[in-house]
Amino acid sequence: MSTERVARRAARLLVLDPGGAVFLQLHDDVEVGLHWVLPGGGLEEGEDELAGAVRETVEETGWDDVRTGPPLWRWEHDYTRAGVPTRQREVIFLAEGPRRDPVGDLADSFAQDGIMTCRWWTPEELAGCPELLWPPQLVALLAELRRNGPPEQPVDLGYVPNPPPAR
């Protein structure tokens, strides 16, 4: 049985601190369960992908000074957004910023976006993360980025199905 899904465009920032740690937010989705995701989210009608990633990141972190770089990866995935089965196509951009906590009163933003908590992860910590990562191959992608730098063109990771639910 297939589920009809609403298409959604999104963009995110891979925010790295000077030591190579990545900033992630924890969400809990009825379809996916607990998962860590990069800051960002849905694009507004006609919105540029990078502009949307920056806007969403400011809304979710209060940071208006991250330095953005090139697009790294594109991927598609399914989840349930506000009770609606969704297939999201997103692009992830490189970004740099100091290691810090989100700033300002973000309670409404966290509640609206379903952000439970957030934290910085070193590559070693991330490799041992028990929850799902979005994209799921994030550990390998970060290792590749450290080895070779950003790709000349964004890498299309394609459609990544959700793992079977934990029993």
Cα separation, 129 vs 134, in Å, equals 12
Q: Kindly state whether residue 15 falls inside one of the protein's structural domains.
A: yes
Examine residue 63 and state whether it is found in any structural domain, yes or no: yes
How confident is the model over 35-92, as pLDDT tens digits?
Answer: 999 999 999 999 999 999 999 999 999 999 999 999 999 999 999 988 899 999 999 9
Confidence of residue 31 (pLDDT cuts 50, 70, 90): confident
57 domain residue, yes or no? yes
- The alpha helices in 12-71, defined as continuous H runs, are 49-61
- Quick check: is 21 in a domain? yes
Q: Residue 167 domain-assigned?
A: no
The residues, ordered by sequence, that sit 6+ positions from 31 with a Cβ below 8 Å of its Cβ are 78, 79, 80, 85, 162
Q: What is the CATH number of the domain that holds 131?
A: 3.90.79.10
Tell me how many domains the chain contains: 1
Whether the per-residue pLDDT at 155 is higher than 90: the answer is yes
Q: How far is 60 from 87, CA to CA, in rounded Å?
A: 22
Token duo for residue 121: 């992860």
> Could you tell me if 72 and 92 are in contact, meaning their C-beta atoms sit under 8 angstroms apart?
yes
Instruction: Round to whole Å and give the CA distance between 51 and 53.
Output: 6
Examine residue 158 and state whether it is found in any structural domain, yes or no.
Answer: no
Structure tokens that stand for 49 in this block: 């992908």
Taking residues 133-147, report their average pLDDT: 96
SS3 69: strand
- Asked whether residue 165 is domain-assigned, the answer is no
pLDDT band at 106 (very low <50, low <70, confident <90, very high): confident
Q: Residue 13: which domain range?
A: 6-153
